[in-house]
A and B are shown apart, each in its own frame.
Chain A
Amino acid sequence: MSFEVVNPHSIAEALDALSAEANIVPLAGATDVMVYLEAHSLRPCTFLNLQQLPELKPIVPGSRSVIWRSHDLS
């Protein structure tokens, strides 16, 4: 079982990676993923690591929605 990780540096890079690769899964806090990995219940894939993206850090209140900060930790 092999899992790769891509570390994009911007949302644009993240979106490019998402559209370029078929078997890619966004990864934020990783809590559930870590449990599934330990249980060997995931097929090999590439994770798109979103945690270090500065654009996802702030909480932005909108008129009809809130974009939450990507949780720093698990």
Chain B
Amino acid sequence: MMQVSFVVNGKNQTLSAAPMKRLLDVLREDLSLTGTKEGCGEGECGACAVIMDGLLVLSCMVPLCQIQGKSITTIEGLADDANLHPLQHAFHENGGAQCGMCTPGMILAALYYLNNPDEAEDLREALAGNQCRCTGYTRIFKSVEAVGRNEFRSR
């Protein structure tokens, strides 16, 4: 067992668990933050993406022993008490989510892209690491582009 302290969605957390336990499982099992989804579990599909110290990471690929002192944002950290984040609002309005499995990772990848637009050639490249088997991507791109044009506010 290893004890680590880190921050999730602005809240300090300290817990003990196996040192190679996946951040994905720490979030879902130890912290009951089940918004982060497990898709492939092999770093291929993007469903488990979260933001750690400002960078987009796949939580199925991050062991507990490497999160000491890190600050993590999950999908639960985007909306405030009463208001959806603009990306959540846009996905809702535009049909950007169907089954919902890819949606948390997709939204965090989109958020990362909007905050770091120079790191990808375009939106399609930015979301290339996130697989969606429902929407055909068009509605997802439409949602993110609308937020990029400031068409959606928190609500």
Contacts and interface: CB of A to CB of B under 8 A. Distances in A.
B2 interface: yes
B33 interface: no
Contact of A49 (B41, B52, B60, B66): B66
B41 A38 contact: yes
A34 B43 contact: yes
A15 to B, nearest CB: 19
Interface string B29-59: 0000000000001110000000011010110
A63 interface: no
Interface stretch (B5-13, B17-25, B120-128): B17-25
Nearest to B62: A74
Interface residues of A, number: 20
A20 interface: no
Instruction: Summarize B's interface: helix, strand, loop or mixed.
Output: mixed
A51 B63 CA distance: 11
B42 A74 contact: no
A69 to B, nearest CB: 13
B19 A5 contact: yes
Instruction: Summarize A's interface: helix, strand, loop or mixed.
Output: mixed
Contact of B60 (A5, A29, A34): A34
B22 A73 contact: no
A11 interface: no
Given A5-B2, A52-B68, A34 B19 contact: no
B65 interface: yes
Given A30-B66, A38-B41, A51-B66, A74 B61 contact: yes
A27 B53 CA distance: 20
Given A73-B52, A73-B57, A5 B65 contact: yes
A3 B55 contact: no
Contacts of B55: 72-73
Interface in B55-101: 55, 57-58, 60-63, 65-66, 68
Interface of A: 3-5, 7, 27, 29-31, 33-35, 37-38, 47, 49, 51-52, 72-74
Interface of B: 2, 18-20, 22, 41-43, 52-53, 55, 57-58, 60-63, 65-66, 68
